[in-house]
Structure 1
Amino acid sequence: MISPERIHYRKEGSQGRGDRVVYWMQRSQRAEENHALEYAVNEANLRQIPLNVVFCIDPEYPLATSHSFRFMVEGLAETRNNLLERGIPLSLMTGDSIHEVPRFVQDAALLVVDRGYLRHERQIRNAVAEQTGCQVIEVESDCVVPVRAASLKEEWSAATLRRKLNPQVSHFLHLTEKIELKTDSLNDIDDSDQILSDPDRLLKQIGFFDPPKILFARGGRSEALKRLSAFLATPVTLYDRTRNDPGVEVTSGLSPYLHFGQISPLEVARAAAGRAGFLEELIVRRELAINFVWYNEKYDQIDCLPDWALKTLGEHRDDLREYTYSLEELRHAETHDPFWNAAQKEMLLTGRMHNYMRMYWGKKILEWSDTPEIAYQNTIQLNDIYELDGRDPNGYAGVAWCFGKHDRAWKERPVYGKVRYMNANGLLRKGDIRGYVEKVEELETMLDDQTGI
């Protein structure tokens, strides 16, 4: 049974009309542990009509890149196969969802959508709902505790949200029942399987053809499960002891898969039961980020920061900077700091960055920019474009944290004011930072060898 807190009635529609249920898949790009999908299957069974899942690839999607599209398409190909095994077709469209989806659902009795948390995700869903004549229901499937069940306001910190989340986790963490579709829905299968089986062809078709220039793993549920299995095979204490050591990779690597909805956070949380440090990141920290973008409409602007952070950064805006770098210099890792350059290169080469280096990376952009406002926008832009999990609540909360969000005031320093400071000596104390730099250099050589540069 799907918890009623996950179900949101977006629009009433004509009753008794329409010959199929449509699930517009957007954020939850998977056939398993997907509350929106199971809700749609159940509704199709109750109405005794077919079900069709539709996904719309928009070439104009904000800050999308060829490597993020490729990762997504690889996951969608696997999702389509998994859906077909359940007798559920997936139709693929290209274009603007606001125009394409309403046309697709003209003959639908019900449109089911999954919940998105970012501003543009909500705007797109609102625009589609306004143009449809059928009932629209939104089902939330990409956090453990639904965002409004967790809190009805923006939380100050992880500590304040944790007190509200922890008593509710067990209520929402139960297995999502997989419901058998009873009505034949495979009569109108299109050629989406052929399109999805050839990512190069699809990317070229939408204007994003670009040979792979990063070394990250493939997208898809099976790849996510491999990473989860490998992570769970490590000693429980290893993550807690060494997760902040850049020279030792002990994290799960699941962030991009969670971002694209290729694996459910509930499935990951159940599998990782007993790993308190990891669950703190997966549930409390991740859902603090969701709370942040849901309730703070300025989540991608410096004005999202608490008053104390804005005040102290303003007071130090004219402080002398020992180094300043333009966006292009930062983009190409052309700074004096080999540790920061390695972090930027890791992001360019792999589409990800070690979690601890991501904090150092953002702090230094603040230190090396002419103003806090420029620093904030440059950090957002680099993160959104080059991280596979960019354009995500976690990313926006992570950037904001570097500037004082979800934190407290510290000792006052030049440029930073009372915002938490980080330096290279801290990296040296945390672990093998030089080994991290060497690893990134090896990745750079490996990519050069592969591409013949």
Structure 2
Amino acid sequence: MHPARARLIHDRPQTQGPVLYWMHREMRAADNWALLHARELADQRRQPLAVAFCLAREYPLAALPHFAFLLHGLRHTAQELEALGVPFILLRGEPGQAVAQYARDARIGLLVTDADPAKPKRAWLADLLSRLQCPAMEVDSRNVAPARRVSDKAEYMARTIRPKIQRLLPEFLDPFPALQRQSLPWPGPAPATDWDVLLATFGPPPAHFPPGEAAARQRLDAFLRQGLPRYADERNTPVSPASSGLSPYLHFGQLSAQRAALAAMAANAAPQAREAFLEQLIVRRELAENFCLHTPHYDTVEAFPAWARQTLARHRADARPFLASEAQLDAAATPDPLWNAAQRQLLATGHMHGWLRMYWAKQILFWSPDAETALARVLRLNDTLSLDGRDVNGYAGAAWSIGGVHDRPWPERPVFGTVRSMTFSGAARKFDVRAFVSRWSGPEPA
């Protein structure tokens, strides 16, 4: 692993003892730099390695389908690890406290964990480090180019971060080694998990997205065959999309973005199709990571650029054509048939086409009394209903849609001011709106 992916986050005296990888963002056994680095460090120390995951009592806005998707996939990961002689330890409770307690009980000598700028994960990590007695390292396995290496500030937009990422790709876009079998035994018994009982608590996984590493690779392979060749021209067509459908697997760490990038680069597709996909997979995703990493208030209007806050304030009193209630949004009962169809797609599948998600969010701004209310609504609906919610991509997308983050001023319009708007007529010029509405049809309001 490239050493720039890792950083020491807890400087404590070196002691003998096993190595523990606290897995909380990259839930996979394959193509996982943090796991590979933990294994390498364990070998250097001549100590065994175990993987721990803590099932938190709650996670903001996460719903049962999210936990079901996570845990059904995690069971397969645990089986893969245990087949390689690496114990998988499922803990429960407040993650910082539970992981620190297990580290003490098992006399862990070194802890390795995932990098994640999300507020709940930052709080877990701070709690852990306040209790931890051994050194700890953090590894960036999410991004092809490690976020802290790319930039030490919040980038203005894609064009400012793109060259910084592209300069680093030859250095970091390297193939993954295989995780080798571990021969050293774990000292003492590892806590057993009754997976059948646990999974019954959360119910079946989402029907439209089978969970787990194997399912993620199957979805990637299908996209490379069927979607990637059409991607450059048809990715923004919700009726017959060429989009990858990988976002739930990327969000839950069941697939490595670097693995997807390497596979796309080797795929049989036109160069412009590969370039368009890699722009979304690498540049746009890593721009979102940069936004949340360097913007602690990423989920509030304070994250909006000054020009957007000013223009939204000037248009705060503008008349809205329709003021939606929370119940109308939840039930897909607005006057806009396209918005309703997109919301029904989200309700039915846990996923919404990417272009529609931008339109969907901007209409919520149009129908809300102010930007603060609109942003809170977008985040609540996205994080509660979407399998890829509670993700840096979602926070950056909401901030782009409502507050012009990573965008520029546009011609002034009511309500939006100079924040970019998206309209039903504009959608009708891009794709067959009637076909999409028909597919996700339901009773429209009178």
Normalised by the length of structure 2, the TM-score is: 0.93
TM-aligned CA deviation for residue 216 of structure 1: 2.1
Distance in 1 separating the partners of 2:162 and 2:241: 27
1:157 paired residue number: 157
| Preserved CA contact (<8 Å) 2:12 2:134 | yes
Distance in 2 separating the partners of 1:85 and 1:355: 37
Distance in 2 separating the partners of 1:235 and 1:330: 31
Distance in 2 separating the partners of 1:333 and 1:407: 28
2:63 paired residue number: 65
2:174 is aligned with 1:178: no
Change beyond 3 A, Cα 1:67–1:179:
closer
Instruction: After superposition, give the CA deviation of every residue in 1:281-313 in whole Å (9 maximum; x if it has no partner).
Output: 000000000000000111100111111111111
| Preserved CA contact (<8 Å) 2:97 2:127 | no
| Preserved CA contact (<8 Å) 1:87 1:186 | no
Letter in 1 for 2:435: G
Distance in 1 separating the partners of 2:71 and 2:187: 22
Pick one of 232, 249, 255 that aligns with 1:257: 249
2:267 is aligned with 1:266: no
Instruction: After superposition, give the CA deviation of every residue in 1:218-239 in whole Å (9 maximum; x if it has no partner).
Output: 2111111111111110264411
Matches within 5 A, 1:187-226: 188-192=189-193, 194-195=194-195, 198=196, 201-202=197-198, 205=201, 209=202, 215-226=207-218
Instruction: After superposition, give the CA deviation of every residue in 1:401-446 in whole Å (9 maximum; x if it has no partner).
Output: 112111111110110101111111111111122221222249x9xx
TM-aligned CA deviation for residue 16 of structure 1: 2.9
1:233 paired residue number: 225
1:146 paired residue number: 146
TM-aligned CA deviation for residue 240 of structure 1: 1.2
TM-aligned CA deviation for residue 278 of structure 1: 0.5
Q: Secondary structure at the match of 1:291?
A: helix
1:94 paired residue number: 92
1:50 paired residue number: 48
1:423 paired residue number: 423
1:376 paired residue number: 375
Distance in 1 separating the partners of 2:352 and 2:52: 32
Distance in 2 separating the partners of 1:255 and 1:428: 26
Distance in 2 separating the partners of 1:81 and 1:186: 19
Distance in 1 separating the partners of 2:204 and 2:42: 41
Letter in 2 for 1:246: P
| Residue ranges of structure 1 left out of the alignment (5+ in a row) | 445-453
2:333 paired residue number: 334
Letter in 2 for 1:439: R
CA RMSD of aligned residues (A): 1.7
Q: Secondary structure at the match of 1:272?
A: helix
Letter in 2 for 1:183: L
Distance in 2 separating the partners of 1:245 and 1:7: 39
Percent sequence identity over aligned pairs: 41
2:368 is aligned with 1:398: no
Q: Secondary structure at the match of 2:440?
A: helix
TM-aligned CA deviation for residue 189 of structure 1: 4.2
| Preserved CA contact (<8 Å) 1:246 1:357 | yes
Q: Secondary structure at the match of 2:241?
A: coil
| Preserved CA contact (<8 Å) 1:245 1:433 | no
Q: Secondary structure at the match of 1:233?
A: helix
Bigger Cα displacement from structure 2, 129-138 vs 313-322: 129-138
1:451 paired residue number: none
Distance in 2 separating the partners of 1:426 and 1:171: 41
Letter in 1 for 2:359: Y
Letter in 1 for 2:409: A
1:281 paired residue number: 280
Count of matched residue positions in the alignment of Structure 1 and Structure 2: 432
1:10 paired residue number: 9
Change beyond 3 A, Cα 1:173–1:111:
same
Instruction: After superposition, give the CA deviation of every residue in 1:317-374 in whole Å (9 maximum; x if it has no partner).
Output: 0000010111221111110111000111111111110111101100100000011111
| Preserved CA contact (<8 Å) 1:247 1:434 | no
| Residue ranges of structure 2 left out of the alignment (5+ in a row) | 266-270
| Preserved CA contact (<8 Å) 1:58 1:95 | yes
| Preserved CA contact (<8 Å) 1:27 1:261 | yes
Matches within 5 A, 1:305-344: 305-344=304-343
Q: Secondary structure at the match of 2:66?
A: helix
TM-aligned CA deviation for residue 140 of structure 1: 1.1
Letter in 2 for 1:112: V
Change beyond 3 A, Cα 1:224–1:57:
same
Instruction: After superposition, give the CA deviation of every residue in 1:359-391 in whole Å (9 maximum; x if it has no partner).
Output: 110010000001111111111111111111111
| Preserved CA contact (<8 Å) 1:89 1:186 | no
Q: Runs of at least 4 residues of structure 1 off by over 3 A?
A: 209-212
Q: Secondary structure at the match of 1:375?
A: helix
Q: Secondary structure at the match of 2:389?
A: coil
Q: Secondary structure at the match of 1:105?
A: helix
Q: Secondary structure at the match of 2:226?
A: coil
Instruction: After superposition, give the CA deviation of every residue in 1:220-262 in whole Å (9 maximum; x if it has no partner).
Output: 1111111111111026441111111111121111101110111
| Preserved CA contact (<8 Å) 1:154 1:295 | yes
| Preserved CA contact (<8 Å) 1:248 1:432 | no
Change beyond 3 A, Cα 1:235–1:314:
closer
| Preserved CA contact (<8 Å) 1:6 1:140 | yes
Distance in 2 separating the partners of 1:295 and 1:264: 23
1:410 paired residue number: 410
Distance in 1 separating the partners of 2:255 and 2:203: 26
| Preserved CA contact (<8 Å) 1:66 1:203 | no
TM-aligned CA deviation for residue 82 of structure 1: 1.1
Distance in 1 separating the partners of 2:344 and 2:335: 14
1:448 paired residue number: none
